[in-house]
Amino acid sequence: YTPAELATLPPKARVRPSESLQPEQVQAMLCALETEPIDIRTMITLFITTGCRRGEIMGLKWEKVDFETGQIKIDRCLHYLPNRGIFEGDTKTGNTRFIVLPKEAVTLLRKYWAWQIERRLLAGDQWQDTGYVFTRADGTAQNPNTANWVLNTFCDRHGFERVHPHIFRHTFASILLSNGIDVLTVSKTLGHADTSTTLDTYGHVIEDAKRRAAVCISETIFDRKKA
């Protein structure tokens, strides 16, 4: 007999609804990025177009980039702890996923790859070939917190309100769901453990999409019937 069997479990905590940018805000940022150095432009563009977590972008290696198919493989994450420094580990859910990039992001990533090769040649013997896409001047891994600094300074230069890299993950998901991409696909792309996380986090977006679907049916069927 186990007394705990009679216990009433607390209700599952609901995930707080996500905040995201509007498409026009993202477009304004993309326009501003055209004036930025290619390393900054590439980093922020990947945040916008992949929905990846900060550590996943900072932990991305060139061997996980497939230029032919336009995909990146996300299976590792870069972390930082004061008592341990920078280290590589599993993604938050331990899952592996492949993300197809927009052609504009692939083109930019190719240019950045060529730029990094030139940088490597200039560094000579000082360069450490770690394989990371985003590195320090000597080729070593960057602290994941660098992404926050890059984004903050970018926003300050162009008069945008400061945002956390994670807001692009929410924006990415909201755009997909608002445009009819199914929840399972969005969940897999984001690397959620299951679709319930996606439903809890982006339920408000899904409800908006349902209402638009109802309006679409009304306009397509009933309005034409009246005509």
Q: What is the pLDDT of residues 101-141, one digit of tens each?
A: 999 999 999 999 999 999 999 999 999 999 999 999 999 99
Statement: the pTM of the whole predicted model exceeds 0.75: yes
Output the six-digit token pair for 22.
Answer: 């509007």
Per-residue model confidence (pLDDT) at position 23: 87
Per-residue model confidence (pLDDT) at position 178: 83
Q: Euclidean distance between the first and final Cα of the chain, in Å? A: 70
Q: How far apart are CA 182 and CA 203, in angstroms?
A: 13
Three-point CA angle 107, 185, 144, nearest 5°? 55
3-state secondary structure 67-94: CCCCEEEECCEEEEECCCEEEEECCCCC
Per DSSP, which regions of 39-173 are E strands? 65-66, 71-74, 77-81, 85-89, 97-100
Contact status, residue 204 vs residue 17, Cβ threshold 8 Å: yes
pLDDT tens for each residue of 15-57: 555 688 988 999 999 999 999 999 999 999 999 999 999 999 9
